[in-house]
Amino acid sequence: MRNQILNAINQIRPNLQADGGDVELVDVSEDGVVKVRLTGACRGCPMSQMTLKMGIEKFLKKEVPEVKEVVSVA
């Protein structure tokens, strides 16, 4: 599952990088919780939670159905 998630993140990464941000995979739990770290402009952006939930999480759930939730860690 980790490789599928990495592939999906690599598909959406150019969109984040276009705005000066990025995302990196930190951990994937067995119960489907994906931990990511938002970096660059995404880290301090007031819209980062929306990007995380409506962008990254939605896309990962579509690409990897085993994903239950995506959370951001510092």
> Does 30 score more than 90 pLDDT?
yes
Instruction: Give the residue-averaged pLDDT of 8-20.
Output: 95
Model confidence, pTM: 0.92
Instruction: Give the residue-averaged pLDDT of 12-31.
Output: 96
Fold of 2-72: GMP Synthetase; Chain A, domain 3 (3.30.300)
**pLDDT at residue number 43:** 87
CA 12 to chain centroid: 8
Average pLDDT, the chain: 95
Is residue 28 very low, low, confident or very high in pLDDT (cuts 50, 70, 90)?
Answer: very high
> Does 6 score more than 90 pLDDT?
yes
